[in-house]
Chain A
Amino acid sequence: MSLVELTQIRKSFGPVEVLKGVSLKVEKGEIVAIIGRSGSGKSTLLRCINGLEQVQAGRILVAGIDVTARNADLNALRERAGMVFQSYNLFPHLDVERNVTLALKLVKKLDREAAGKVARDVVTRVGLAEKLHAYPDELSGGQQQRVAIARSLAMQPALMLFDEITSALDPELVGEVLRVLEGVAKEGMTMMLVTHEMNFAKNVADRVIFMHEGRIHEDGPAREILQTPRTAELGSFLSAVLH
């Protein structure tokens, strides 16, 4: 069984249908970049996968958990599927260490010491060991985003979802975050990431999905999709973002 299985999902906001029958399978260890125009439904797709949005039709299975079931245990699901947002969303009242340990203590039931150890490990992995006791507003955007990645990583999810996590950053801070992502990718994490960084998609992703008007318009190996688009829509999208 695939780690993620979407079958014909449909999602509307009021009268507007945003996802118009999306089917998709993601295998364990795969790194999938999702690209497409603004409003094509990329964020909505990720948010449906971890249950932040409810679909009107179709089925979503993640790590064996049926997200679309009426009584789905969404908290158990989210423990398995971490998500990092464009706007970091660190908890501003907690320092870096406690941002990471909060869910470890509450959800994973680790004691203080064990949680603290995990926090030090992941924060070191994203290169911020010396910022363990800093508060979010004392960090740059890039550092905050790295902490957000560490916080999600600490939960040891089976799948990580990233929604345009470099889009809010100053250009000179994008690189440090992408390098962290690359590191996570190398360790075999299954990742789905919405991104506008085409070079990153080409070099790090195994697979690229092009969303267009609420549907998956193209889906295939990263280099192939990005170098030889089959449809006019992808062609014009790529020339728009690359130039």
Chain B
Amino acid sequence: MIREFAGADVVYLLLAARWTVALAIMAMLGGGLLGLVIAALRIVPFKPANWLAILYINLIQGTPLLGQLFIFFFGLPLIGIQVDAWTAAAISLSIYAAAFFGEIWRGALQSVSIRQWEAGASLGLTYGQRLFYVVLPQALRVAVAPTVGFLVQLIKNTSLTALIGFVELTRAGQIISGATFAPLRVYLVVAVVYFVICFSLSQMSRRLERKLHVAR
């Protein structure tokens, strides 16, 4: 049964885009927290911790996200742990994002000169005070652009969750395209929605960067 591509379909796509955004937010939060841990493990002066973080980063960055999704969605049930598509997607996207955030933030922290640490120390600031008041604010400025850049990639990568049955924006596009045989128009709308999400994100990032710069 073939029907016209209509306004209701656009609404359907927009509703599916909610899942794209929800997945991205989930990955940002979960991956952000885990990424902080990875960045910390990566810079603490304790070799085994560094190695662990490096192993994690290489393992995750060196394997395809799709494979990671499959491992969580199809692999976990094999050892008796039932997961739904949402949980599997949230976990694997978080783990994936953490590997990249960890590296981005480590780089940002280490881009702040050791002399800034020393200047803080020579005023009697504790390690934590040096980190929070001297180094982090400077690292943040450096980190915003690459962090958001990765988030934009991540939003587009959430489409992979379609392959474990998740109906997000891309999958919804497939469904409607199948029903209307109007792939060009459908995927054009899909592309526009992705673009609007990603573009507003990078605009926000630009504004944030400017604000951080004005506040130094």
Contact = CB atoms under 8 A, between A and B. Distances in A.
The judgment on whether A and B are partners is: yes
A123 interface: no
Contacts of A106: 125, 129, 133
A103 B134 CA distance: 11
A103 B125 CA distance: 7
Q: Is the interface of B mostly helix, strand, loop or mixed?
A: helix
A52 B124 contact: no
B143 to A, nearest CB: 13
- Say which size band chain A's interface belongs to: 20 to 34
A214 B123 CA distance: 27
A102 B126 CA distance: 12
Interface in A147-179: 151-152, 155
B140 to A, nearest CB: 9
Interface string B165-179: 000000000000000
A91 B113 CA distance: 11
A107 B122 contact: no
A192 B6 CA distance: 81
Given A85-B118, A89-B118, A94-B216, A151 B123 contact: yes
Given A85-B115, A85-B118, A93 B123 contact: no
Given A89-B119, A91-B116, 19 more contacts: A52-B121, A74-B121, A75-B125, A76-B124, A78-B124, A82-B123, A83-B122, A85-B115, A85-B122, A89-B116, A91-B119, A92-B138, A93-B137, A93-B138, A102-B134, A106-B129, A106-B133, A107-B125, A135-B216
Q: Give 6 closest A-B pairs by Cβ, nearest first.
A: A79-B124, A89-B119, A103-B123, A93-B216, A83-B122, A107-B124
